[in-house]
Structure 1
């Protein structure tokens, strides 16, 4: 415990000195979140090596470092880099590299803003044009590679090298650099989060260093993968040693905005308008120019149906942080509601460029192309979403819908079976499987006898391919049972009435006259276009009873 405390105290100073503000904040939050224990200043030894011994260089360089840090804190990044152009110490070199990187990122954001303001499209709409890039990346990559191969880099240098490689679209090398960073300096939280963003679901598990920070990383990774059950379990285990951690408890810090956009998404899905309104007001009063606050307000307007206002706030979030993933995805949803499919596609594409693991953006792309009646494209994106969420029935139902449009009934049935096995709470899979099996039976019957010979439903039922009708009837029964368990009336819609009629006819043909009469009477009470057919069916059932046929199918 004391070693954790000493390590975190040193980390807050080291990270702050290098301008890594987010990581410094995380380390400070974990410091105050530790369970009670000695609060002395004993040095202790960390569970993994910290940064190499600082190369102080000369007193003049130390003074230059203080000046450069003052420029850095005022966002004068090029000026800070220039002040450290001859730095030799580890801190000075890192701050120069980091200043150059941020200067390039700042200029890239300015160029993208200029391009957006010059066009009439949605934010990020740069069709036909290469997007702006950080012009300092090649220089930084060359210098960091040379430094690593000669005298070596500390954990901070490896972290920055990983970020540069990520921006240069070299994910494998970026992962290696980031793993070296977290091994050399475990408390560098930004390196962990960057590593999570580069770790795909289809890749081999990472060989993480043996450090307590890895537990926070695994919980964060589960959250990012939307594996809620595992994330909750991991965070609950962390509470034992970190009971006051602000990383976990929003109630401990009412002015915390980190992750509040995710909380607003939950309130949105649950349609808790009052709570979402209160959260939006709280965020705006705390800091209305934080991208998280803008997303909360955007969600509030979306829940009210004011989609244009919602887009306005999501755009504002992206002006504050062009790589804010949640805003791109949510804005894509709003453009779908506004039927602006081109802008929706562009927003979703930007989201998957930032994080290829965002299944919501892949799913949104599939929905958008489905709206555009382009099922082949939609299927491609639904497959991406399903690979990320293999246990989500909605993904499988969406894929099945595309296969249906493409008249690939066999693949559609397979997808609905996957949805059924993954807790299809909405009952879509049951209904669609029943319909598909019924259609398979009808096709077999039509191929063998011709539709003109099968106008009578009882004859139709007896001549369909064995297996299809019982399967269809079984899924219709499960659909009815699920709807009734949720208190929903079944049979009011035409498709449901036809399903009940099919089920009634099947029960009659198999000799289950009691069940057939119960369903038929229910259909008769509901009325509808097939009322006369239901009456005829009930008369047939009564005739079979009187004839004492034993419930067998009519000859």
Structure 2
């Protein structure tokens, strides 16, 4: 065990140093934090006052594979040492073009790039980058293989030079767009350096392959090439190069993050699991991807627990656990890494502020905003925290100002795009909200909140067909969230596709249901358990059946609505099988709604004729699930409407005793009293006639 921990320590040390040397500061920070949280080795001397041999080297033995270097590369790095230090100093001072020019002298004057008129050549190259296959592979000229344009350099120096060119292009792209969502920010600006970098790297890899040096890559240039391919929307080829990068350099966290962005579903994750290297990084990647895909499964928690036994004090892993609980609607606010234990840490603080916002914890959110502002005012996370605070105070203009500031600092910051869209919805600025949500989707297609926001925006514009498409995307990402299916059902209702609306609402019922069992609250649902369902959804399903002229089905669902007052309907043995729930949810993950709702799982699970007769005289209910937002201890407006409907239905069927009983209960509830009295008068009149 100690040997494995020692080897892991050497690898993380190596990754921290090498990422820092190549100016990949976020990856270097991640590796250093994981190194610091690593489980202490038993024989380590941790007493600062005890004698210790300070001359003993802390570096791994020479035969460690992560320290061995190709002799040719080592010789080149030694020759370029002084130039490398100069180039890195330029990079650290954000002089990216000067950094690149140390190793790659520019043939074209830089002024021609920065002073282009609107009608000059670079603007034409922008349109030439559109489409999936136009960026890569690049060809030097038609019919010829790409040529390596670079001088003989070490991979370390070449990466730094090309990365500096990439960063220079990104900087100019941001300067060109000026203000966030301003007149010039139309989302069409591109990094003008990408074609040259892609074409040059393609020639460099081709030359090494010809010389038989393909297996001696270090993984850094492969990573940069994949990033360039991603910018050109060539995702399949980018995935190939990222897999090659993580095999050759498995402790570079940035490559794993880019690979995660390419996985849009759990199926994509399952497809590449066999292609990943077999080490602890693959396990960390699996947990991270599962959290990003909202898969809070038992396997994910087990893998996370294994990692926490190796990295017991890792703030990164604690954040992943908190987000998994958040996605599965578990206990929320106290699971996030304590700010006091990790002072001045702002990473993922925007997610924590979202949780506090949802829970309406205004005082705690104000405290977190104070801490973040005192640490660093100009971090995107800080701006999002402060923006959430102002949003909670209903000061939406100020909230937008802070979200814009976050995007000015980092235009790829997903939370700010999504949250700004929410604020514009509140301000009734629907078109700008749509643009914000679209940018969020461009950054991360797995953000169900942005898809749901787009659906809301188009629903406000009475464009139900478009809203339905975006709600379907959100539901495919979050098949266990009843709110997604309720939105889908609402759109189908507006489109007069009532049968599809019913199926969608049934899925919302399945996703939102939970079991109560006073005898064994922690046991699996069985005989004697009660499934509690959302009364409003049940009532809407009943109303849709009434529109279809199926009064018996409507009556069954009205009875189920009424049953929620007494704690839900009893569940028979055949109904307690949770496979129905998982089957429906797996179907829901498909992108085509027609295919998703064509099965009969949801219909069979919630068929009213399979329910026992509900109790209508008792309104007491035990709340045995602390994670449920609300329970029904007494009649509500929805259940009273269902009771009124059932009373009228019984009257139409000449069931006078039942109609009189329901009308009397309505009078006791104090809701729908006039209608109830009219029914009671009608019942008395019919009895007198009889």
Structures share fold, TM-score greater than 0.5: yes
Q: For residue 220 of structure 1, what is the aligned residue in structure 2?
A: 288
**Counterparts of 1:230-249 in structure 2 under 5 Å?**
232-249=301-318
* 2:173 equivalent in structure 1: 108
Q: Is the 8 A contact 1:331 1:347 kept in 2?
A: yes
Match of 1:300 among 363, 386, 389: 389
CA contact (8 A) 2:169 2:191 kept: yes
Answering whether residue 190 of structure 2 is matched by residue 99 of structure 1, we say no
Give the match for residue 542 of structure 2.
434
Pairwise mapping of residues 471-550 of structure 1 onto structure 2 (< 5 A)? 471-481=556-566, 485=621, 486-487=631-632, 489-491=634-636, 493=637, 497-506=640-649, 516-525=659-668, 526=670, 527-536=672-681, 539=684
Using the TM superposition, name which of 428-437 and 27-36 deviates more: 428-437
- 2:421 counterpart (329, 332, 343): 332
Q: Which residue of 2 aligns with 1:35?
A: 39
Q: 1:502 to 1:116 in 2, by over 3 A?
A: closer
Question: d(CA) in 2 for partners of 1:155 and 1:379?
Answer: 43
Structure 2 Cα separation of the partners of residues 171 and 117 of structure 1: 29
Which residue of the other structure, out of 9, 12, 16, is the alignment partner of 1:8?
A: 12
- Report how far residue 361 of structure 1 moved: 0.5
| Superposed CA offset, 1:264-303 (max 9, x none) | 1111111111111111110000111000010011111111
Structure 2 CA distance for aligned equivalents of residues 392 and 237 of structure 1: 28
Distance 1:51 1:14, change over 3 A: farther
Aligned twin of 1:150: 207
Q: Deviation string for 1:462-516 (max 9, x for gaps)? A: xx5xx4244333333245446964246535x4x6543211223456778987765
- For 2:163 and 2:261, the matched residues in 1 are separated by 20
Picking from 183, 192, 197, the partner of 1:140 is 197
Structure with more helix by fraction: 1
CA contact (8 A) 2:562 2:639 kept: no
Structure 1, 155-164 or 201-210: larger mean CA deviation: 201-210
Matched, 1:71 2:90: yes
Q: Secondary structure at the match of 1:187?
A: coil
SS of structure 2 residue aligned to 1:240: helix
| Secondary structure, aligned partner of 1:57 | helix
Offset at residue 177 of structure 1 (A): 1.0
The Cα shift of 1:226 comes to 2.8
Q: Is the 8 A contact 2:555 2:646 kept in 1?
A: no
Counterparts in 2 of 1:355-504, with a 5 A limit?
355-424=444-513, 426-441=534-549, 464=551, 467-481=552-566, 485=621, 486-487=631-632, 489-491=634-636, 493=637, 497-504=640-647
- C-alpha deviation, 1:235, in angstroms: 2.7
Determine the structure 2 residue equivalent to 1:311: 400
**Where does residue 257 of structure 1 map in the other structure?**
346
Residue from 372, 388, 413 that aligns with 1:283 = 372
More displaced stretch, 192-201 vs 109-118:
109-118
Could you list the runs of 5+ residues in structure 1 that have no partner in the other structure?
445-463, 548-555
Q: 1:49 to 1:147 in 2, by over 3 A?
A: farther
Residue in structure 2 matching 1:205, options 271, 276, 284: 271
Query: Which one of 182, 185, 191 corresponds to residue 255 of structure 2?
Result: 191
Assess, with a 3 A threshold, how the Cα gap between structure 1 residues 379 and 61 changes in structure 2: closer, same or farther.
same
- Aligned-residue offset at 1:430: 1.4
Size of the aligned set, in residue pairs, is 512
Given that residues 156 and 181 in structure 1 are in contact (C-alpha distance below 8 angstroms), is that contact kept between their aligned partners in structure 2?
yes
Q: Which string of whole-angstrom CA distances, capped at 9 and with x for unpartnered residues, describes residues 84-134 of structure 1?
A: 124611110110111111111111111111685556xxxx4x2xxx61110
Alpha carbons 1:363, 1:382 under 8 Å: kept:
yes
Report the alpha carbon displacement of residue 256 of structure 1 after superposing the two structures with TM: 0.8
Question: Is the 1:161–1:177 contact (alpha carbons within 8 Å) kept by the matching residues of 2?
Answer: yes
CA distance in structure 2 between the partners assigned to 1:412 and 1:471 by the alignment = 17
- After superposition, the CA RMSD in angstroms is 2.7
CA drift of 1:58 comes to 6.6
Cα shift at 1:439: 2.5
Q: Is the 8 A contact 1:473 1:506 kept in 2?
A: no
* CA drift at 1:435: 1.4
Partner Cα distance (1:260, 1:58) in 2: 40
Indicate conservation of the 8 Å contact 1:50/1:184, yes or no. Answer: no
The Cα shift of 1:55 comes to 3.8
Give the whole-Å Cα distance in 2 for the aligned partners of 1:300 and 1:47: 50
In the alignment, the residues of structure 1 paired with residue 67 and residue 537 of structure 2 have an alpha-carbon distance, to the nearest angstrom, of 54
Q: Is the 1:200–1:357 Cα contact (8 Å) retained in structure 2?
A: yes
Measured in 2, the distance between the counterparts of 1:65 and 1:266 equals: 45
Change over 3 Å in CA distance of 1:524–1:116 after alignment to 2 = closer
| 1:272 is aligned to 2:361 | yes
C-alpha distance in structure 1 between counterparts of 2:11 and 2:639, whole Å: 64
Q: For the structure 1 residues 7 and 284, does the alpha-carbon distance in structure 2 shift closer, same or farther, using more than 3 Å as the test?
A: same
Contact 1:434/1:474, CA 8 A, preserved across alignment? no
1:169 matches 2:233:
yes
Structure 2 unmatched ranges of 5 or more: 45-56, 105-150, 209-213, 319-336, 514-532, 569-618, 622-630
Residues 59 and 50 of structure 1, relative CA distance in 2, 3 Å threshold: closer
Residues 170-218 of structure 1, C-alpha deviation per residue, up to 9 Å, x if partnerless?
1111111111111111110011111111111153531321110111111
SS in 2 for 1:247: helix
Distance 1:31 1:539, change over 3 A: same
Q: Is the 1:438–1:472 contact (alpha carbons within 8 Å) kept by the matching residues of 2?
A: no
Q: Which has the higher contact order (CA 8 A, sep 6+)?
A: 1
Moved more, 403-412 or 467-476: 467-476
Task: State the 1:41 CA deviation.
Answer: 2.5
Whether 1:160 aligns to 2:224 is yes
1:180 to 214, 236, 244: 244
What's the CA shift for 1:412?
0.2
Following superposition, the deviation at residue 534 of structure 1 comes to 2.8
